[in-house]
Amino acid sequence: MKPGRLTSNKLTPRETRLLRIALLILFVYIIPFELAPTVLEQHQNVQQENLEIERKISKLTRLQGRKLLWMERRNEATSTQQSIEKALLKGSNPQLVGADLQGIVRALAEKSQLNIQSMELPEFSSVSGWLFSTQSIRFKATPRNLLLFLEQVENDTHRLETVSISTNTARKELTGTLSITGFSKEEP
């Protein structure tokens, strides 16, 4: 036979029988015992990976939803912290904190026309990292001015508290003593 010429497409009976045996082996052994388990295992792996991806997507979606909640809570906490910091008396030691409290009390008394007759030295106490400063004053005022002063103490941004008050009445005027407490963070 010369090269380049096409051969006949007919198979000999022996070749046909061998081809049938090969196809039989393919269909009876290779496909069910070799190819099918491999394909089935790969299909199961793909399904497991898809389930894992769906779980991760679900988790990320939940986390993203919570992100907004946590950002809102963080903003609230920051706002609260700023509010607390504004309420603190200023000073790095008890004497400066006491001086700040005295200045605030004098300013509030001046606004409400409460006449401070005398002001004692502030007293200090410390509890769990907080420094409390208590300022006692002797005053003279009309009932209206005293109420105005007490309102201003209550509404002041420093969150001052009136811890004691004692009054006497003399000719439409009140005289007495008053103790006011403010707080600050204790310096380490």
Mean pLDDT, the chain, whole residue set: 86
Q: Which amino acid is at 159?
A: R
81 plus 141 within the same structural domain? no
What is the torsional sign of CA 61, 64, 68, 70? positive
Q: Which domain holds residue 116?
A: 94-185
Residue 3 domain flag: no
56 plus 30 within the same structural domain? yes
For residues 112 and 148, the answer to whether their CB atoms sit within 8 Å is yes
Cβ atoms within 10 A of the Cβ of 76, count? 10
Residue 2 domain flag: no
Rounded to whole angstroms, how far apart are CA atoms 164 and 22?
107
Q: What is the CATH number of the domain that holds 111?
A: 3.30.70.60
Q: Which residues contact 45 (CB under 8 A, 6 or more apart)?
A: none
Percent above pLDDT 90 for the chain: 41
Number of domains in the chain: 2
pLDDT at 14: 85
| Chain segment 30-72, per-residue pLDDT in tens | 777 777 778 888 889 999 999 999 999 999 888 888 888 889 9
Give me 119's structure tokens.
Answer: 């002001």
Rounded to whole angstroms, how far apart are CA atoms 135 and 119?
8
Cβ atoms within 10 A of the Cβ of 105, count? 24
70 plus 98 within the same structural domain? no
